Amino acid sequence: MQIKKSLIHFILYFIVGCLATIVEWGAFYVFDNWLSFHYILATALAFVLSTFANWAFGRLILFRESKQNTWLELAKIYAVSIIGLLLNIGIMYIEVEKLLMNEMLSKMIATGIVFVWNFLIRKFVIYKI
């Protein structure tokens, strides 16, 4: 039963993650291509926006029962997301600077890796479900 519940949570989190990914990739594309920001700055700004979107969508879809103070919960999300941001930037740096990969493709790969990190931290640390 616990495995089924975890699978359902993962699927719902995947949906939430897809919505936040649309925000992140869209923001990254605008910052990187239209505004010509350096890809690291574009990554950081897009990540800040998508972290908020992920939290908001998560509260609406998955973590509705949370009894935490909204500001405290959001602070926890951003605190642990900093590690996700550092992972994201590190992965992108290696892929873009060392492997000479396209910035948008690198962003997509980094997002997939950091998605797993975010799910595990939110499930087992922040919301403990």
**Per-residue pLDDT of the chain in tens (129 residues, 90 and over written 9):** 778 887 888 899 889 989 999 999 999 999 999 999 999 999 999 989 999 998 899 888 877 766 778 888 888 888 888 999 999 999 999 999 999 999 999 999 999 999 888 888 877 887 775
pTM value is 0.80
Instruction: Please give the structure tokens belonging to residue 105.
Output: 């493709």
Instruction: Please give the structure tokens belonging to residue 111.
Output: 């997002």
Q: Give residue limits of the domains in the chain.
A: 2-126
> Do 47 and 81 touch, CB atoms closer than 8 A?
yes
> Do 67 and 85 touch, CB atoms closer than 8 A?
no
Instruction: Please give the structure tokens belonging to residue 82.
Output: 């900093």
